Copies of this chain bind each other. A is one copy, B any other.
Amino acid sequence: MKNSISNATINRLPIYLRYLERISVLGAKNASSQDIGEALGFNSSQVRKDLSYFGDFGKKGVGYNVDILIHKIRQILNLDQSIPICLVGMGRLGQALCQYNRYQNDTMKIKAVFDSNKDVIGSEINELAIQPINELQKTIKRKNIRIGIICVPQQFAQEIANIMIHSGIEAILNFAPVFIKGNEHVKIHNVDFTADLHSLAYFLKKKTP
């Protein structure tokens, strides 16, 4: 049943959610699909269609009640519960993500961090002691960690993913610039901003020198 809802739809839900939370703070009570779409660069039909997969949240002639919709989307995305996550690879990117996550008002929180470098193991970031990789499996189980973030160099990414998968993690966000193989039980999402940057170059005007 979950499979019948398009991936594209799922990827937009967090974007709707963030916008709604933003305007809720500013005092907005209602938002139409038109409002939401315009603010986020989507077609209003798309907004309505995406939401309609999950229920009739809107009111004809009025739009969507912002706070109700926030609540519903949080439910759909499982963000109505706390979700412990871990992060492996405490390079600069790992540190940046860690710090960013710390100050977010978010139910997904980094609860354990790992690195292979002996010089940083034991030191603290965000009040979390950096642990060695050989404690990864144990810690995932002990802390009920459900999502893993990979920020290690490319050549180690698959190996870390394998440990995570083997430890029963349910989803992985991979920042290493390499394709990671998972299995049918683990959802893997790759973030690849080097590729993003390179694909932008395609759109540059040709210089005629």
A-side residues, CB < 8 A to B, are 2, 10-11, 13-15, 17-18, 39-41, 76-79, 81, 83, 85, 91-93, 95-97, 99-100, 104, 108, 146-147, 149, 170-171, 173, 175, 177, 179, 181, 187, 189, 191-207
A165 → B minimal CB distance (Å): 14
User: B93 contacts A179, CB within 8 Å?
Assistant: no
Instruction: Report the Cα distance A171→B200, complex, angstroms.
Output: 6
User: Which residue of the partner chain B has the closest CB to A209?
Assistant: B81
CB-defined contacts of A99 to chain B, threshold 8 Å: 92
The 9 closest A-B pairs by CB, nearest first: A14-B198, A92-B96, A187-B203, A14-B195, A171-B200, A93-B96, A78-B201, A40-B179, A96-B96
- Count identical subunits in the complex: 2
Q: Which residues of B contact A81 (CB under 8 A)?
A: 207
- Identify 23 residue pairs between A and B in the complex whose beta-carbon atoms are under 8 Å apart, listed by A's number: A13-B199, A14-B195, A14-B199, A15-B192, A15-B195, A17-B198, A40-B179, A77-B201, A83-B201, A92-B99, A104-B194, A108-B201, A147-B201, A147-B204, A170-B203, A170-B204, A173-B200, A175-B193, A187-B200, A187-B203, A189-B196, A189-B199, A191-B193
5 extra interface residue pairs, beta carbon distance < 8 Å, beyond A77-B198, A191-B191 = A11-B196, A14-B198, A83-B201, A170-B205, A171-B203
Cα(A194)–Cα(B78), bound, Å: 15
Instruction: State whether A196 and B170 are in contact (beta carbons under 8 Å apart), knowing that A93-B100, A108-B201, A147-B201 are contacts in the complex.
Output: no
Q: Which residues of B contact A104 (CB under 8 A)?
A: 194
Contact assessment for A147 and B197 in the assembled complex, using a CB-CB cutoff below 8 Å: yes
In this complex, the member of A92, A196, A203 whose beta carbon has the largest number of chain B beta carbons within 10 angstroms is: A203
Q: How many angstroms between the C-alpha atoms of A156 and B134 in the bound complex? A: 42
